[in-house]
Amino acid sequence: MNLPQNIILIGFMACGKSAIGHKIAEILGWEYVDIDMLIESQTKKKVKDIFLEEGEKAFRTYESEIAKTIVNLNNKVISTGGGIVLKPENVEALKKAGKLVLFQVEPETVLRRVKDYTTRPLLNYPDPEKRLAMINKLLAERENKYKNSADIVIDTNDDHLDNNARKVLKEFE
């Protein structure tokens, strides 16, 4: 296998970054790192609380600070937040640290997977139709940024964890 320094997972929320990322790390014997968890550890707050108390802008600042440190890591599978591609400097920092793998997913798949919407600050609407409209809006805003940032694109609408992990690893054969 021709593995990069790190495998960095990008994509919209609920596209499978965490679940598939853990599986890839397990197969490779690498450590799994979640940028949102690093932010929570650094701030001593849950992501949803940062959004509520400090706003999205503050969260994006924390995210950028963490992104800059990723270049120092090796042999990690790194899961990013769905909005990390919104700042070009984040993408630049991540590209220095490894290969960016985009997990592409349909809006309806996201809606189906986001059962507890209250943990998703940008989708915190009880009405599923309103959530789907917000998913469509956010995906439309981010789609080109995701595609332009990615080194590899994987469709993860398939819920089979092993299949999706194998699809990623096949790209490095």
Q: Are 78 and 8 in contact (CB under 8 A)?
A: yes
| Residue 159 domain-assigned (yes or no) | yes
Which of 82 and 1 is assigned the larger pLDDT?
82
Return the pLDDT at 121: 63
33 occurs within a structural domain: yes
pTM of the model: 0.91
Q: Which residues is 100 bridged to in the sheet? A: 8
CATH of residue 50: 3.40.50.300
H or E segment to which residue 84 belongs:
none
**Residue 96 belongs to some domain of the structure:** yes
pLDDT, residue 128, reads: 78
Residue span of the structural domain in which 71 resides: 6-170
Q: Evaluate whether residue 1 is within a structural domain.
A: no
Strands (E), the chain: 6-11, 31-34, 76-79, 99-104, 152-155
